[in-house]
């Protein structure tokens, strides 16, 4: 008997009963967590399932009531018609802009992050806060100033204008991601290189950046995906059909005044999403290791 039982004269609860209560509580917690995960996955996957379903429906069945997740008359016509349009050109534009944006934003972000990590610059914290605060700027406000600048520089309807726009909105994240990684790299490696007579530039490009490949890869993937999915810049800075990236090309090609070719648009959306899905599948380890590398100190 325990002290409380001796004082009150009551019998202690059997140990077996307390273990059963403990196991039941753990089971209830586990079931609740699994139910929450399943519900979250269902909410996330519902738009994707609906997109796939719509892409195989004839246009007449898209707005049928009640809605049907499994098409009654499935067809692949919406997919076959994409190869006769401007899909190839839109795809090429997005690849070019995405790759150039990834190279520019990651390169500039790496140099800025390394300087902020290794040099005790006056106002360094203020600079970092400026990068973070810039993420709070509404993109339409940035677009107004960039549009006026691009008009003066003749950068409308050019790859350079889109690359600059995508770099502007992704550079702050690249700087923060890469700075956290550089903070975790041992300074002793660089000091040993300096002792051997290496310059700061040689140490950066031949020692530091190769060690930062996971973070550089994660940064490049983030910029490329953001550029690939960006819509507003493609609609604002580009008016030529042959220069539009994929999101802007899809919206301008399939949404007309009186009709929306929803089946074809969903089929094209599936085709556009596949490269990003494959990108994350192939480089998942690189992306996750780069994102989490600077998350733990010590």
pLDDT reported for residue 180: 86
CA distance 94 to 92: 5
Name which residue leads in pLDDT, 17 or 191: 191
Least confident of 91-95, 161-165, 278-282: 278-282
Q: What is the pLDDT of residues 220-273, one digit of tens each?
A: 989 999 999 888 898 899 988 888 898 888 777 766 544 567 787 788 888 888
Residue 50's pLDDT band (boundaries 50, 70, 90)? Answer: confident
Q: Percent of the chain scored above 90 by pLDDT? A: 21
Q: What is the pLDDT of residues 88-128, one digit of tens each?
A: 888 899 999 999 999 999 999 999 999 888 888 787 788 88
pLDDT reported for residue 298: 44
Residue 260's beta-bridge partner residues? Answer: 255
Q: How far is CA 79 from CA 42, 54, 75, 165, 194, in A?
A: 26, 11, 9, 31, 58
pLDDT reported for residue 3: 53
Handedness of CA 93, 94, 100, 105 (dihedral sign): positive
CA distance 264 to 253: 10
Q: pTM to 2 decimals? A: 0.76
CA distance 100 to 92: 12
In 10 A of CB 55, how many CB atoms?
Answer: 23
- The third-level CATH classification (topology) of the domain covering 79-292 is MetI-like fold (1.10.3720)
pLDDT reported for residue 223: 93
What is the residue-averaged pLDDT of the chain?
82
pLDDT reported for residue 198: 83
Would the pLDDT of 14 be above 60? no
Quick one: tokens of 48? Answer: 């994707």
Residue 255's beta-bridge partner residues? Answer: 260
Would the pLDDT of 10 be above 80? no
- Across the range 165-191, mean pLDDT stands at 88
Q: What is the pLDDT of residues 56-98, one digit of tens each?
A: 888 777 777 777 778 878 888 778 777 666 778 888 999 999 9
């Amino acid at each position: 008997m325990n002290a409380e039982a001796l004082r009150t004269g009551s019998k202690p609860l059997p140990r077996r009963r307390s273990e059963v209560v403990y196991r039941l509580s753990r089971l209830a917690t586990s079931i609740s967590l699994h139910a929450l995960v399943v519900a979250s996955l269902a909410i996330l996957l519902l738009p994707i399932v609906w997109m796939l379903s719509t892409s195989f429906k004839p246009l007449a069945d898209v707005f049928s009531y009640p809605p049907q997740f499994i098409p009654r008359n499935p067809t692949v016509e919406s997919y076959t018609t994409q190869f006769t349009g401007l899909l190839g050109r839109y795809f090429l534009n997005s690849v070019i802009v995405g790759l150039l944006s990834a190279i520019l934003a990651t390169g500039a972000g790496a140099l800025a992050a390394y300087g902020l990590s290794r040099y005790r610059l006056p106002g360094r914290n203020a600079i970092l806060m400026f990068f973070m605060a810039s993420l709070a700027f509404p993109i339409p406000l940035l677009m107004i100033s960039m549009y006026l600048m691009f008009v003066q520089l003749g950068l409308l309807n050019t790859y350079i204008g889109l690359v600059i726009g995508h770099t502007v909105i992704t550079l702050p994240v690249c700087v923060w991601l890469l700075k956290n990684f550089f903070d975790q790299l041992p300074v002793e490696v660089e000091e040993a290189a300096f002792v051997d007579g290496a310059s700061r530039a040689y140490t950066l490009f031949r020692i530091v950046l190769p060690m930062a490949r996971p973070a550089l890869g994660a940064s490049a993937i983030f910029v490329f995906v953001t550029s690939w999915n960006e819509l507003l810049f493609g609609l604002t800075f580009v008016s030529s059909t042959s220069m539009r990236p994929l999101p802007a090309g899809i919206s301008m090609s399939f949404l007309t005044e009186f009709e929306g070719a929803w089946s074809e648009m969903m089929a094209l959306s599936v085709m556009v999403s596949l490269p990003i899905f494959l990108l994350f599948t192939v480089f998942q380890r690189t992306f996750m290791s780069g994102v989490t590398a600077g998350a733990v100190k010590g």
